[in-house]
Amino acid sequence: MITSVLSWAWVATGVILMLLVLLHSPKGDGMGGIAASGSSMFTSASSAEASLKRTTWTFLALFLTLAIILSARWLT
pTM (2 d.p.): 0.74
Sorted by where each begins, the domain ranges of the chain are 1-23+46-76
pLDDT at 36 over 70: no
pLDDT at 33: 58
DSSP 3-state of 68? helix
Rounded mean pLDDT, 28-44 = 57
Burial letters 39-69, b for 16+ CB under 10 A, else e: eeeeeeeeeeeeebeeebeebeebbeebeee
- Across 25-29, 30-34, 53-57, the highest mean pLDDT is recorded for 53-57
Residue of higher predicted confidence among 75 and 55: 55
CA-nearest of 74, 73, 71 to 63 is 71
pLDDT at 37 over 60: no
